[in-house]
Amino acid sequence: MNPILVLFAHPAFQRSRVNRRLVAAVQGLDGVTFHDLYEAYPDFHIDVRREQALLDAHQIIVFQHPFFWYSTPAILKEWQDLVLEHGWAYGHDGTALKGKQLLSVITAGGSESAYRQEGTNRCTVPDLLRPIERTAALCGMSYLPPFVVYGTHDMLEGAISTHAADYRSVLTALRDNRLDLARIPRHTRLNANLSHIIT
């Protein structure tokens, strides 16, 4: 079993419809540690050694957050700046994360068509997540295609339930080594065709 650490960051979780349901779908799942960064560090005073110990204890790391201004919420950037230390996560003797996997799980208010070269945002989500992908590479981690939920602003309850179930299926498959990684690069997002990649 691959232990999974979900690093969750949402500065207004009480107002969230979609992330609240995604969280509920995976909280308490065997082998999954759910870690709400805003709840743990309301003053942004991140305990670096505690966070590094959590990373040491897990094989798969998940960044779950809304896509704010084409990036992560502030605390997740602060977490990266402090926790991913030179000599520990990267650089000379910095091999603590080597061989682990990193997955971005994001929610976006805009539609999928808005995140295309010809769309409103002029970029795809994988393009905009390139800094996280490169961070993973620098740390010797494998970066999985992102799990993306588009169109959250006007999403109906049935669609939210489907995405929540898909999220649970993905984490369960990752935990149990039932994700066919060879098939993933053909998709721009991990949840584009789950029946094709979960064995």
Q: Which of 30, 29, 8 is nearest to 19 (CA)?
A: 8
Domains in the chain: how many in total? 1
Q: What is the CATH number of the domain that holds 113?
A: 3.40.50.360
SS3 65: strand
pLDDT of 188 = 78
pLDDT of 148 = 95
Structural domain of residue 38, as residue ranges? 4-197
The yes-or-no verdict on residue 187 having pLDDT over 80 is no
Structure tokens at 169: 């299926």
Q: What is the pLDDT of residues 61-80, one digit of tens each?
A: 999 999 988 899 999 999 99
Residues ≥6 apart with Cβ < 8 Å to 177: 2
The yes-or-no verdict on residue 4 having pLDDT over 90 is yes
DSSP state of 156: -
The yes-or-no verdict on residue 94 having pLDDT over 90 is yes
Please say whether the dihedral angle defined by the alpha carbons of residues 55, 61, 133 and 17, taken in this order, is positive or negative: negative
Give the residue-averaged pLDDT of 104-114. 88
User: How much is the pTM?
Assistant: 0.94
Structure tokens at 170: 């993905």
